[in-house]
Amino acid sequence: MLLIAIFSLTIFYQFSFGFPSNFGRNDIVAKATDDGNARFLIVGDWGGLPFVPYKTPSEVAVAAAMGHIGEKLNTSFQLALGDNFYYDGVQSVTDPRFKHTFEDVFTAKSLQTPWYVLAGNHDHLGNVSAQIEYSKISHRWVYPDYFYTFSLWESDKTKKLVDFVIIDTVLLCGGGNLTDWEETEVDGPKNNRVAEAYWQWIEGQLRQSTAPYLIVSGHFPVYSVAEHGPTKCLVDRLRPLLHQYKATTYICGHDHNLQHLAEDSDGSHMDYFVVGAGNIVENSQKHAAAVPAGSLKYFWGTGLLLGGFSMVEVNSSQMTLSLVEHTQRTLYQAVLKPRV
């Protein structure tokens, strides 16, 4: 009976408010803007501190900048790329870190829109299932499962603009016991059968994506020049799928800086962005020789700065990803075209 009620309620909302029949339960409609662009914000590795005041000056500065930009540009939602609570995640759904590090920091009215969340290695040192459960308590925390999808629809609800595939790179590759002072030399997933099932799920989601843009997001990088470097598991398994199914980009955190890398392989182009400067900023490029030659297009990071994030604006013709510092200054922009 409960399933019937839920199904009936879904049909009622779709009929009453004009949502298309394929509108997913996690999907979001872009806010209307004067120029017709949909906009959203991305922040990674933003998770404060495990002791008073439970936040850092960098996190506070980034939150303020995101709030100002969100209000000015009428952004629709936020994408949070993991390491949500340093250093050991949360212990339960009532953990005070939700309040001290999230609710009391990202207070701007423009940031009361949905936050699509994924887990990082520091979250896996705690209780990730509690972060998932927090979706039932918070009006803006959207974390339905370790792996999930959602789509951004145009403001008139007529068609999808972007498909998102959200993945848990720790369950895929291991590394749930890593600190920020270790390279991402992960030792493999704890459960190979579960990991293989998720790899099949990922390929299925990529295969069925029909939106003009397809964004895949996880915590560990495919490629990075910084302190952790590339993740071999993702280079071996995810990278071929991104090329095969013509994903627009892979966006991650883990390394505490802002990066854009791009590669061309067998006639297929792929862009990679690292957006991991929400709480701590580091300037390391110790793995510059570990990425494809010429792939690094932009790098920003120094311990003297107070963090950064990303703002994305998208329409049917192009997607522009901006890397932004805590002063709201745009550092770098990359233009991405719709999938062919």
- Once rounded to an integer, what is the mean pLDDT over residues 83-110? 98
Share of the chain above pLDDT 90, in %: 84
pLDDT at 335 over 60: yes
- Tens digits of residue pLDDT in 66-86: 999 999 999 999 999 999 999
What's the pLDDT score for residue 294? Answer: 96
Binding-site entries for Fe cation: 45, 83, 86, 121, 219, 254, 256
Domain ranges of the chain: 29-336
Using an 8 Å Cβ cutoff, are 69 and 40 in contact?
no
Query: Does the structure show a pLDDT above 90 at 2?
Result: no
Which residues sit in the known binding site?
45, 83, 86, 121, 219, 254, 256
Q: Which of 204, 243, 206, 208 is nearest to 222 (CA)?
A: 243
Q: What is the DSSP string of 118-145?
A: ---HHHHTS-HHHHHHGGGT-SSEE--S
Rounded Cα distance, 176 and 124, in Å: 5
Q: Where are the beta strands (DSSP E) in 26-146?
A: 28-29, 38-43, 78-80, 115-117, 141-142
Asked if residue 317 has pLDDT above 80, the reply is: yes
Whether the per-residue pLDDT at 203 is higher than 60: the answer is yes
φ, ψ of residue 328 in degrees (nearest 5):
80, 5
- Which CATH number fits the domain 29-336, given the four candidates 3.40.50.300, 2.40.50.140, 3.40.50.1820, 3.60.21.10? 3.60.21.10
- The contacts of residue 174 (CB under 8 Å, 6+ apart) are 186, 187, 188, 189, 190, 233
What percent of the chain has pLDDT above 70? 91
The pLDDT tens digits of the residues spanning 139-192 come to 999 999 999 999 999 999 999 999 999 999 999 999 876 655 455 456 789 899
Q: Is the pLDDT of residue 114 over 50?
A: yes
CA distance 173 to 207: 21
Identify the burial level of 267 via C-beta atoms within 10 angstroms of its C-beta, where 0-12 means exposed, 13-18 middle and 19 or more buried: exposed
